[in-house]
Amino acid sequence: MTRPIDHSQIYKSNYAARILIIDDEPNVLSVLYSLLSEQYQCKTATNALEALEYLRQEKYDLVLSDIMMPGMSGLELLEEISRSSKDTVVVLISGNLNIQSAIQAMRRGAFDYITKPFNLSEVETAVERALRHQTLLKSNRQYEQHLEELVSLRTHELNVANVNLNSTLEKLYINYRATMRALAAALEARDVETKGHSERVVAYCLRLGKEMSLGNSHLISLEHGALLHDIGKIGVPDAILLKRGTLTEEEWTYMRRHVDYGAQILRGIDFLKGATEIVAQHHERYDGSGYPNRMEGDQICLGARIFAVADAVDAITSNRPYRAGRPFEAAAEELLKCSGTHFDPDVVRAFNTVPLDAWREIRQMAIEPGAERVNPATGRKVRYSALSIAGDHLTKESNL
């Protein structure tokens, strides 16, 4: 809560105000001191240099100074005071009635201008007005300082709250991902041939997503979609899913339904909305020859287009009962061959931008338990995921 200015204190503070009076004429100096010293704490100086020395030693609320003095003039003194003591108000005195002198004094920062010979009541009025102004300036400065302190305090509180929120979100994300990994692992347990497939595809997808400058939220959706892309196979009978031989056309019809099953399972889960789209479209092809909806080009979401390349790379480089896995060079060649038909040319270009040795390293990290990274901020082990590849603010891990 901000503190209002207590105007009742403004006038009370005038009684203890400190005033520095400067004039090279002893008579003028004596008259002003006698006039003001009964109500205020006054000190006198006969020149500007002496006044500056006093100002360095202690603070004054008001400086009442002659303009025309030997050595440094009152206007020069005014400039020094404006630089070094912003809370001090200056009233200048001069026997020069030239209006230009008054204007010049005000422009340089003087609050008021009194001409000689002066009426003592006019001096008292000018001093009272100047001190009221000075007290308002000081109060406003204190108020601004209080606001700055308040803003600093609230900013610190928000930063602490943000750190706590990020920590909570990180824990929540890790728990979500552990649950999804468990689901993916349970599905792969039904089909030994695809063991580790989801983790490898996740790793490839995230590297491609980074190469294509996807934001953190899209990378996380891409990770979830890649991890759960085959969740719909839970609805495919084992006799079809695990069949060693070639599937009949009727069996292929059942197998293709896993896309719809997967989308139905995830639909309605808000944080998996982006992943659901990828699951629903991960068998579409760029030229429209895929399934289930024969979507083509940009009709297919970018996540599904990225997945198609990642899935093909893993299929080509992984061992199968009927053949050994082929090198990444062969995968790159196949991607180029099918660019524009099966695959999005932009995603193929992104794949080829990354050195093949980097893809080999990513595969090793995805399949070796020892390749898990330790997040220095939390001490937790994190597999190759959106937390590690994106430099995400949740963990701030380095990029591969």
Residue 41, beta-bridge partner list:
18
Q: How far apart are CA 260 and CA 275, in angstroms?
A: 13
| Structure tokens given for 20 | 């520095």
Strand ranges (E), the chain: 18-22, 41-45, 62-66, 89-94, 112-115, 373-374, 381-382
Q: Per residue in 362-395, pLDDT tens?
A: 888 877 644 555 555 566 665 555 555 544 333 3
Comparing 99 with 372, the larger pLDDT belongs to 99
Q: Per residue in 308-359, pLDDT tens?
A: 999 999 999 988 777 888 999 999 999 999 999 999 999 999 999 999 999 9
pLDDT band at 3; cut points 50, 70, 90: very low
Least confidently predicted of 45-49, 181-185, 186-190: 186-190
> pTM higher than 0.85 for the full model?
no
Taken in order of first residue, the domains within the chain and their CATH numbers are 8-152 (3.40.50.2300), 191-389 (1.10.3210.10)
pLDDT value for 215:
92
Strand 89-94 to 373-374 pairing: unpaired
Find the mean pLDDT for residues 175-188. 70
Most confident of 46-55, 179-188, 329-338: 329-338
Annotated catalytic residues are: 233
Q: Per residue in 102-150, pLDDT tens?
A: 777 777 778 888 888 888 888 999 899 988 888 888 888 787 888 888 8
